[in-house]
Amino acid sequence: MHSSLRDTVHVIAEAMLAGSPERGGVVARIAAVLGDAPAWAHEAADDALARFGTNWADADVDAVAAVVADTPGFVSAWYGDHRPTVIRVMRRPLVQRPLPAPLAGCDVPQWATPGDLAGWLGMSAAELDWLSDHWRVDARGSATPLHHYMYVAVDKRSGGCRLVEIPKGRLREAQRRILHGLLDRIAPHGAVHGFRKGHGIVSFAAPHADRDVVVRFDLADFFVSVRAARVHALFVTLGYPAEVARTLTGLCTNRVPSARLLARDLRDRFDWIGRQRYRERHLPQGAPTSPALANLSAFRFDMRLAALARSLDASYTRYADDLAFSGGGALAREVERLQVRVAAIALEEGFALQLRKTRVMRRGTRQQLAGVVVNRHPNLARDEFDLLKAILTNCIRRGPASQNRDAHPDFRAHLAGRVAHAVALNAARGAKLRALFDRIAWDAHGAGR
């Protein structure tokens, strides 16, 4: 019984790539899978080596299969009386390819097979298949142990709804290991300041201080916009074989079951397009790996926007879904062109701008990025400073429990974080807030903890 043309040439191509790129060896491997070396084997070997010989280890199996299928001798044999018949399969060795030159200094784990990855994660191969959704769980259902996420809908202050996808314990643990063992070792584009050690909203905003014009853009559904295909391509770029890249992609992406999207608490919060975006496999907001993967997957996007900024003698930074540009007269004169080009680049790279959130802030008006005022230097907005000062003062007078209106479980840590943020932006003003904070009488119970 003969295999299909596609399967036959694919098996032959994989055998050709299963060893060194020398004519005799390639022909011998063709003979091994067919039982004999047909006359056309030398012709196919010569054509494949001419096209892929200098990059044999990275040659694509489908591309080599296409060369075999186009070899005149093979075509004649296939449609003649001596159709090639596969008698055995010879697999291409699974090896992890070297990192691209720009990443050559990164120390990444070596996972040539899914088994290597399972061992590194401390789990069995069956558990890895289960967590990476290799079993193709029915996306229409939602109430089975085979689904690895819980879902919480959060209303946005600006309107609309965001679905937080929270991985369950075992998957979350695996994702954290991948984050710290792999993704944290790969640096994103230099313009990125969100979800990156040593960076934050201060470093994001600082390059835009004391500029003639500051322009802020906002990306819509940043994490959901990063599809599984892009994540898979990233892992392949890092040198992992296709099966390992597929497993890693399964561990780090999710598709929300239709039954969950149509449940009573969610069905009226998303339109049909919104539900379709969540039904397709994407980066889940709530997974530990998603911020780092989103940053790395957006590398070309950031590179293009940085180049656009340089062409206008401007600066560009990004903090998650917030994009910021600033500059002098050249940018001020080309603001409309900037908005059109940024929107076009975003669409070409698989993202979309929330155009109603675009802000053009010229000198003389408040220029604010991620809550940081940048008119002269990074600073806390005056109204925010006054509000925080009033809260701290009332904590001293009436007790901290009286000011914990949002029921923060650790109100002391919450206030300490806000004060630390003010100190980072303006040391002198922040010191006044710190002095007030230190005067608060914290008790050992409830909100005053």
Residue 448 has pLDDT above 60, yes or no: no
CA distance 25 to 49: 11
Pairing of strands 149-155, 161-167: antiparallel
The stretch 230-240 carries a mean pLDDT of 94
Question: What's the pLDDT score for residue 160?
Answer: 74
The predicted model gives 217-231 an average pLDDT of 95
Q: Using one digit for the tens of pLDDT, what is the confidence trace for 129-166?
A: 989 975 555 655 555 566 789 999 888 776 678 899 99
Cα separations (Å) of 286 from 7, 162, 166, 290, 291? 41, 11, 5, 7, 9
CA gyration radius, the chain: 28
pTM to 2 decimal places:
0.80
Angle between helices 61-70 and 5-16 (to 10 degrees): 110
Query: pLDDT for 272-282, tens place per residue?
Result: 888 889 999 99
Query: What does the DSSP 8-state code read for residue 288?
Result: T
DSSP state of 269: T
Phi and psi angles of residue 319, each rounded to the nearest 5 degrees, phi first:
-125, 100
Condensed to tens digits (0 to 9), the pLDDT of residues 173-182 reads 999 999 999 9
Query: Which tokens go with 78?
Result: 């296939």
pLDDT score of 445 more than 80: no
What's the DSSP call for residue 354? Answer: -
- Residue 299's pLDDT is 96
Alpha-carbon distance of 449 to 446, in angstroms, equals 6
pLDDT digits (tens, 9 = 90+) for 34-44: 999 899 999 99
In terms of Cβ atoms closer than 10 Å to its own Cβ (0-12, 13-18, 19+), residue 353 is buried
User: For residue 446, what pLDDT is reported?
Assistant: 44
Strands (E), 140-283: 149-155, 161-167, 213-218
Angle, CA of 89, 94 and 99, to the nearest 5°: 150
Distance CA 221, CA 166 (A): 16
217: confidence class by pLDDT, cuts 50, 70, 90: very high
Any idea what DSSP says for residue 359?
Answer: E
397-435 residue pLDDT tens: 999 999 999 888 999 999 999 999 899 888 898 999 999
Strand, helix or coil for residue 203: helix
How confident is the model at residue 270, as a pLDDT? 85
Considering only CA atoms, which of 341, 347, 361, 307 is closest in space to residue 191? 307
CA dihedral in degrees (166, 168, 174, 178; nearest 10)?
Answer: 0
Sign for the CA dihedral angle at 398, 401, 405, 406 comes to positive
Question: Average pLDDT for residues 365-387, to the nearest whole number?
Answer: 92
Beta partners for residue 151, in sequence order: 165
Its sign, for the CA torsion 137, 139, 144, 147, is: positive
Checking if the pLDDT of 284 tops 70, the result is yes
Q: Say if CB 185 and CB 350 are below 8 A apart.
A: no
Residue 1 pLDDT: 46
Taking a C-beta distance cutoff of 8 angstroms, is the pair 175, 287 a contact? yes
- Residue 211: name the closest of 326, 378, 105 by CA: 326
Query: Would you state the structure tokens that stand for residue 26, as one six-digit string?
Result: 């390639």
pLDDT given for residue 140 in this prediction: 58
Q: Mind listing the pLDDT tens digit for each residue in 305-328?
A: 999 999 999 999 999 999 999 999
Measured CA to CA, the distance from residue 190 to residue 93 in angstroms comes to 36
Task: Tell me the C-alpha distance between 320 and 266, whole Å.
Answer: 25
Which tens digit of pLDDT belongs to each residue from 52-100?
Answer: 998 887 788 999 999 999 999 999 999 998 889 999 999 887 788 888 8
| Summary mean pLDDT of the chain | 91
The pLDDT of residue 3: 78
Whole-angstrom CA distances from 180 to 158, 186, 196 are 33, 10, 12
Q: Which residues contact 50 (CB under 8 A, 6 or more apart)?
A: none
Q: Are 176 and 190 in contact (CB under 8 A)?
A: no
- Residues counted in the chain: 449
Cα–Cα distance for residue pair 249/203, rounded to 1 Å: 31
Q: How far apart are the first and last CA of the chain?
A: 76
As a whole number of angstroms, the distance between CA 47 and CA 230 comes to 32
Residue 277's contacts (CB-CB under 8 Å, 6 or more residues apart) are 221, 224, 225
Overall average pLDDT of the 361-367 stretch: 94
Please report the pLDDT score of residue 329 as a whole number: 92
Three-state DSSP class for 152? Answer: strand
More confident residue, 448 or 128: 128
Q: Which residue has the higher pLDDT, 263 or 333?
A: 333
